[in-house]
Amino acid sequence: MKDVEAIDRFREPPDSGLMSDLLWSDPRPFNGVGPSKRGVGVAFGPDITAGFCDTNGLQCVVRSHEVKEEGYLVEHEGKCITVFSAPNYCDQMGNKGAYIRFTHDCKPEFNKFTHVPHPPIK
């Protein structure tokens, strides 16, 4: 976690390195690490998520930056949660948005919402 905390976040993301990997990497359903469908970052499996959580004393990883049809998706036996808060992304995806709250005992509660039409522009 010290490497993550040391990242200079007040800049444009670089093409490679830890900041880029954290921003662009996505979960996949099978173990290991492989190339990302995005062409940057990696695709990581449940074993990688579990190892990261165990090493850093975490219950789960909450991430974003990937459209999910229902606004969120829980994967990797509950250890990887993707939350996407932009409904109908780019006015064409038709996805719901969501946000997450954790209860006092660290249980996630998800709240989904749909988009509203844009106001008329004059």
Task: Specify the pTM.
Answer: 0.90
Which residues, at least 6 apart from 100, have a Cβ–Cβ distance to it below 8 Å? 62, 72, 81, 83, 108, 109, 110, 111
Query: Would you state the pLDDT for residue 119?
Result: 86
Q: pLDDT (tens digit, 9 = 90+) per residue, 95-117?
A: 999 999 999 999 999 999 999 98
**Over the Cα atoms of the chain, what is R_g?**
16
Helix (H) or strand (E) holding 5: helix 2-5
Q: pLDDT by residue (tens digit) across 54-94? A: 999 999 999 998 999 999 999 999 999 999 999 999 999 99
Other CB atoms closer than 10 Å to residue 76's CB: what's the count? 20
Give the model's pLDDT for residue 118: 85
64's tokens: 């974003």
Write the pLDDT tens digit of every residue in 5-55.
999 999 999 988 999 999 999 999 999 999 999 889 999 999 999 999 999
List Cβ neighbours of 23 (8 Å cut-off, separation of 6 or more).
13, 41, 65
- So what's the pLDDT on residue 122? 80
